[in-house]
Amino acid sequence: MLIETIARVALQAAERSGRVLCRCFGNLSRIDKKGRIDLVTEADLASEKAVVDTIRAHFPDHAILSEESGRSGKNDHATWIIDPLDGTTNFAHNLPVFAVSIAYAEDGVVRHGTILNPARGELFQASTGQGASLNGRPIRVSNVSRLDSALLMTGFPYDLDKTLDAILERLKTCLATVQGVRRPGAAALDLCDVACGRCEGFWEERLKPWDTAAGALIVSEAGGRVTDFNGSPFLPEMPAILATNGAIHQELADLLETAAV
C-alpha cells in the first residue's frame, strides 16, 4: 500500500475527529467509568466513529484496533491502531491537552503515524524513512545531552495502585537528578513533545498500543530513540516505553534501572 495514500486517509480521519472533539469540548453530557479513575465520554466514542468510518470507507478490508471498540476486521497484513481521544481525563475536566492518535502498521511494523492536537492546531506526522513533521515542517529531537539539563515527561497507568511503589521510586529518582518532570496527561502528545525537542525524554509503564504506536514512530523519525525499560527496540505491544532524544537514553535507562524496587 502506498504510504502517501495511507497518510492522506489518516489525515482525513484525524481532521474529522478533531472537529468532533472540538464540538464536544466543554459540552460533555455523559462521562462513564471503565475503572476507578478510567473514564470514557461521548467524545471518545464519537471521535472513534469518525476515525473508523473514514478508514473503513477507504480500506474496508484492513484490520482496526481501536481503544473503545477493540479489534475488528481480519487482515494479518494491514492494521490501523487508533486512540480516538488520548487525554480523556484532561478532556473531562475541560483541560485542553488531548489528541487523536492514528497509526498504520504492516506486518506488525508501524509505517505511519498521525497525531492531531486540535486545541492547539498542532498536527504531527511521520512515515518510515521520511522523517517527522509538525504542521508540515520537519522536526528534530533536542540535542541536550546532560540529565541535569533535561526536561522529562511521564504518565501514570490507571491501575497505578498495582505498582505504586515502583512508579513513585522512578519518579523520585528522576526528580532528584533531572531539570524537571512533567505529567501533562496525554501520552501521544508527550511523545510528540520529545520528537519536536520541547523535552528530552518520556517514560511510562502499562501503556497500550493505541497510546504509543503513532508517537513512537514520530519520535524515531525525528531522530530520537525508543525502547522498553531494558533497552530493547520498542514495539507497540510492549507496555513500557522509554523515548528520548537519544543523547540521554542510556543514562536515563540506567537511572530508571537503579530506581527498581
Residues that bind Ca ion (CB under 5 A): 67, 83, 85-86, 211
Q: Tell me: does residue 244 bind ligand IPD (CB under 6 A).
A: no
Site string for ligand IPD, 80-109 (x = CB under 6 A): ---x--xxx---------------------
Closer CB to ligand IPD, 86 or 193, in the complex:
86
**Distance between CA 147 and CA 173 in Å, rounded?**
12
Q: Applying CB under 6 A, does 157 fall inside the site for ligand IPD?
A: yes
Q: Applying CB under 6 A, which of residues 64, 134, 187, 255 lies at the interface with ligand IPD?
A: 187
Contact between 186 and ligand IPD by CB under 6 A: the answer reads yes
Q: Match 476486521 to its residue by C-alpha cell.
A: 73
Q: Which residues contact 4 (CB under 8 A, 6 or more apart)?
A: none
Closest Cα to residue 261, out of 160, 152, 153, 163? Answer: 163
Stretch that binds ligand IPD, among 14-22, 25-33, 54-62, 153-161 (CB under 6 A): 153-161
Residue 75: other Cβ atoms inside 10 A? 12
Is residue 224 a contact point for ligand IPD (CB under 6 A)? no
Binding-site partner at residue 201 among Ca ion, ligand IPD, none, CB < 5 to 8 Å by type = none
Instruction: Residue 23: count other Cβ atoms within 10 Å of its Cβ.
Output: 11
* Contact partner at residue 48 from ligand IPD, Ca ion, none, CB < 5 to 8 Å by partner kind: none
Q: Which of 153, 135, 127, 99 is nearest to 217 (CA)?
A: 127
Distance CA 126, CA 218 (A): 5
Which residue is at the shortest CB distance from ligand IPD?
A: 155
Closest CA to 210 of 82, 88, 18, 85: 82
205 closest CA partner among 245, 176, 175, 234 = 234
**Which does residue 186 touch among ligand IPD, Ca ion, none (CB within 5 to 8 A, set by kind)?**
ligand IPD
Out of 18, 155, 201, 215, which residue is the one contacting ligand IPD (CB under 6 A)? 155
Positions touching ligand IPD (CB under 6 A) are 83, 86-88, 155-157, 185-187, 204, 207, 211
